[in-house]
Amino acid sequence: MNQYIINGNHPLFGEITISGAKNAAVAIIPAALMVDGVCRIENIPQISDVTLLFSILDELGAKVRVLNQHAVEIDSRHIHSTKPSPDMVRKIRASYYLIGALLGRFGQASVAMPGGCNFGVRPIDQHVKGFKALGAEVTEGNYVHAAAKSASGRLQGANVYLDVVSVGATMNVMMAAALAEGTTVIENCAKEPHIVDLANFLNSMGADIKGAGTDTIKVRGVERLNGGTYCIIPDQIEAGTYMTAVAATGGQLLIKNIIPKHMECISAKLMEMGVYVEEMDDTLLVRRTGPLQRTNVKTQPYPGFPTDMQPQIAAVLSLAQGTSLVTEAVWSNRFRYVDELRRLGAQIQVDGRVAVIEGVDCFEGAPVEACDLRAGAAMVVAALAAKGTTEISNVQFIERGYEDLVGKLRSVGADIRIVDVPDEALTTESIG
Ligand code: EPZ
């Protein structure tokens, strides 16, 4: 197991190029199972969640050919199983996309569900509601077994109203509907950029999906998806994490390969805090010279402030002048990282879904743990600003979602290195 050792309190200067979006990739790779042909996917982030998904696809009979660091070809013409290995599936939350993809194409899927959860109850009732509406019989236990009930073995288009705005349910139902007979209308959809990206991927393979990015998505089922080429969008949260890093340390970063529109919810908050943010085509210039000002943040589905940036912004607000409130409105328990941040000197009180943050002048380095992916990112942000040395353990969580975080930060002047430590503390809890 690796640890990160960070000697903080150095401003960051330079350029960072953002990788492909994790939460788009972890849906698009399973969706490649729906393609009765060969698809080439570009701008794939090199992260462990992606590597794991390739292994799952390979085991089901897809041929995954790595073309270069960020591009693969997936040939799903000869899939021989609709029951992926539970051991691999349980390691990644996004494995629920295998249900929509396999059910959509083959009319059946048996997928183990990931155990445990890191930030509150993570039900999949809305996914199941959608599959049932499309004519599947679904049973849930250690596995989710889903099978189309119609004589043709295909799902049937239907109207699906989601009771909760859910990213996963929106994407899963959209996938399943893409190869159904007839038209599906999904209402109360999530609007995150990765939903639009998945719809664009499926459309580029021959699907007929309209309205992704709004709260109503209309899917006209087609008989088959053919091969094609697709390039994944840049990662909004990776970009936001580096924005918060420079906000915490001071300095100036040029953050390249972003979609400015996706960054507005994060830029707006940082500007309120006194950080300079300038948008230029596919690049953001982020500079912090003066003190940070307090503000309040409430997480919301897109285009609101993303829950996946909540720990990182809390780390920065801990260094702002005055008292800030952070309200977590998406997950019921996403403040587990607060105890770790306190080890560095943060003054935070949590009451239910609200964290009250009293800004402090500086952090002091200490040993801390990454308790999940974004919690880990927040530890890195805080450690970069802390005086002295911080050791971050459990960084395998961070490596699930950030490509070459250490290399990228070193290239802009951070004193961060990876060290190997004995394996005994390795946890396998799933997130993402
Ligand atoms: C996705 O999770 C992301 N994961 C999460 O990213 C992200 O935090 C979340 O969306 C919200 O943006 C992936 O894309 C792999 P939801 P997802 O369904 O789809 C409730 C990261 O750090 N709900 O939008 O699982 C649920 O309990 C992560 O990259 C139901 O009640 O999230 C939650 O309160 C971790 N029933 C809310 O909806 C359901 O059937 C939003 O969850 C589904 C969800």
Confidence of residue 204 (pLDDT cuts 50, 70, 90): very high
Which atom of ligand 1 lies closest to the CA of 301?
A: 12
Give the residue-averaged pLDDT of 61-83. Answer: 97
Which atom of ligand 1 lies closest to the CA of 401?
A: 29
Which atom of ligand 1 lies closest to the CA of 302?
A: 12
Burial label, 105 (beta-carbon count in 10 A; 0-12, 13-18, 19+): buried
The answer to whether residue 362 is catalytic is: no
Which atom of ligand 1 lies closest to the CA of 97?
A: 15
Q: What pLDDT was estimated at residue 115?
A: 54
Please indicate whether residue 168, judged by its CB atom, sits closer than 6 Å to ligand 1: yes
Superfamily of domain 2-19+234-425: Enolpyruvate transferase domain (3.65.10.10)
* Interatomic CA distance for residues 219 and 184, integer angstroms: 5
Mutate to test the pocket of ligand 1, among 99, 122, 125, 188 (most ligand atoms within 8 A of CB): 122
User: Of the listed 117, 189, 265, 371, which one is catalytic?
Assistant: 117
Confidence of residue 1 (pLDDT cuts 50, 70, 90): confident
The 10s digit of each residue's pLDDT in 157-195 is: 999 999 999 999 999 999 999 999 999 999 999 999 999
Please indicate whether residue 256, judged by its CB atom, sits closer than 6 Å to ligand 1: no
Q: Could you tell me the end-to-end alpha-carbon distance of the chain, in angstroms, rounded to an integer? A: 19
Q: What is the mean pLDDT of the chain?
A: 95
Which atom of ligand 1 lies closest to the CA of 23?
A: 14
> Residue ranges of the domains in the chain?
2-19+234-425, 22-231
Please indicate whether residue 337, judged by its CB atom, sits closer than 6 Å to ligand 1: no
* Interatomic CA distance for residues 406 and 219, integer angstroms: 41
Give the residue-averaged pLDDT of 360-371. Answer: 97
The 10s digit of each residue's pLDDT in 366-421 is: 999 999 999 999 999 999 999 999 999 999 999 999 999 999 999 999 999 999 98
What's the fold here for domain 22-231? UDP-n-acetylglucosamine1-carboxyvinyl-transferase; Chain (3.65.10)
* C-alpha 107 – ligand 1 centre gap (Å): 25
396: left (phi over 0), alpha (psi -120 to 50) or beta: alpha
Q: What pLDDT was estimated at residue 428?
A: 46
* C-alpha 94 – ligand 1 centre gap (Å): 10
Q: Which residue lies with its CA nearest to atom 16 of ligand 1?
A: 166
* C-alpha 1 – ligand 1 centre gap (Å): 27
| CA dihedral sign of residues 95, 99, 100, 102 | positive
Q: Do domains 2-19+234-425 and 22-231 have the same CATH topology?
A: yes
pLDDT at 98 > cutoff 70: yes
Please indicate whether residue 317, judged by its CB atom, sits closer than 6 Å to ligand 1: no
Which atom of ligand 1 lies closest to the CA of 125?
A: 40
Which residues touch 318 (CB under 8 Å, ≥6 apart)? 341, 346, 347, 348, 357, 359, 360, 363, 382
Strand partners, 420: 2
Please indicate whether residue 318, judged by its CB atom, sits closer than 6 Å to ligand 1: no
Give the residue-averaged pLDDT of 11-18. Answer: 98
The 10s digit of each residue's pLDDT in 316-349 is: 999 999 999 999 999 998 999 999 999 999 999 9
Angle at the Cα of 30 from the Cα atoms of 372 and 24, rounded to 5 degrees? 55
* C-alpha 123 – ligand 1 centre gap (Å): 9
The 10s digit of each residue's pLDDT in 249-303 is: 999 999 999 999 999 999 999 999 999 999 999 999 999 999 999 999 999 999 9
Q: What pLDDT was estimated at residue 430?
A: 43
Angle at the Cα of 64 from the Cα atoms of 62 and 65, rounded to 5 degrees? 145
Q: What pLDDT was estimated at residue 117?
A: 44
Q: What is the pTM of this model?
A: 0.96
Which atom of ligand 1 lies closest to the CA of 432?
A: 35
The 10s digit of each residue's pLDDT in 210-256 is: 999 999 999 999 999 999 999 999 999 999 999 999 999 999 999 99
* Interatomic CA distance for residues 217 and 191, integer angstroms: 10
Mutate to test the pocket of ligand 1, among 166, 170, 307 (most ligand atoms within 8 A of CB): 166
* Interatomic CA distance for residues 295 and 86, integer angstroms: 44
Mutate to test the pocket of ligand 1, among 47, 93, 99, 167 (most ligand atoms within 8 A of CB): 167
Please indicate whether residue 33, judged by its CB atom, sits closer than 6 Å to ligand 1: no
Q: Which residue lies with its CA nearest to atom 41 of ligand 1?
A: 166
* C-alpha 168 – ligand 1 centre gap (Å): 6
Q: Which residue lies with its CA nearest to atom 6 of ligand 1?
A: 432
Neighbour tally for 5: CB within 10 Å: 16
Please indicate whether residue 93, judged by its CB atom, sits closer than 6 Å to ligand 1: yes
Please indicate whether residue 163, judged by its CB atom, sits closer than 6 Å to ligand 1: no
Percent of the chain at pLDDT > 70 equals 96
DSSP state string for 257-284: S--HHHHHHHHHHHHHTT-EEEEETTEE
* C-alpha 68 – ligand 1 centre gap (Å): 31
Q: What pLDDT was estimated at residue 432?
A: 58
